[in-house]
């Protein structure tokens, strides 16, 4: 059974930093693109970043470029999102999902609140 478990969310001050993790199991993690999506509670979905299978290709939405960094450790079946200089508008539930072109498996999400 595929499982994706996000962790690391919490309250962070604007300009601070936070690191999100996603632990994957139940599939060959190192063979797949992975993606971070986010959702402000009660609002719509937003694509944040993705990373290819070997970590050599990364893409970001413009609003997080230069502030967030996506990475992965295939030996540990894990993906990460380093959030530097977060802004209040980054407040959301962050989902770890499989895939590049479609997202068949989702974690339950981790909540990030950016506030002073």
Place of tokens 């989902």: 95
Residue 96: which residues within 8 A CB-CB, separation 6 or more?
Answer: 4, 5, 6, 20, 22, 24, 34, 35, 36, 79, 106, 107
Which of 16-24, 56-64, 73-81, 84-92 is the region at the interface with other proteins (rule: CB under 8 A)? 56-64
Total interface residues for other proteins by CB under 8 A: 18
With CB under 8 A as the contact rule, the residue among 109, 110, 112, 114 that binds other proteins is 109
Determine, following the binding rule CB under 8 A, whether residue 31 of this chain makes contact with other proteins: no
Q: Which two tokens stand for residue 52?
A: 């290819």
Which of 10-18, 19-27, 54-62, 73-81 is the region at the interface with other proteins (rule: CB under 8 A)? 54-62
Determine, following the binding rule CB under 8 A, whether residue 61 of this chain makes contact with other proteins: yes
- The rounded distance, in Å, linking the Cα atoms of 104 and 82 is 24
Q: Which two tokens stand for residue 45?
A: 């979905």
Residues forming contacts to other proteins in the complex (CB under 8 A) are: 44-47, 59-62, 95, 100-104, 106-109
């Amino acid at each position: 059974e595929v499982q994706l478990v996000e962790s690391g969310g919490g309250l962070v001050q604007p300009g601070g930093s936070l690191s999100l993790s996603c632990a994957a199991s139940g599939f060959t993690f190192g063979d797949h693109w992975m993606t971070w999506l986010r959702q402000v509670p009660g609002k719509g979905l937003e694509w944040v970043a993705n990373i290819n299978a070997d970590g050599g290709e990364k893409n970001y939405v413009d609003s997080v470029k230069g502030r967030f960094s996506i990475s992965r450790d295939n030996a540990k079946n894990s993906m990460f999102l380093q959030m530097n200089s977060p802004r209040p508008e980054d407040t959301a539930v962050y989902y770890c999902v499989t895939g590049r072109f479609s997202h068949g498996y989702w974690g339950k999400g981790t909540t990030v609140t950016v506030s002073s």
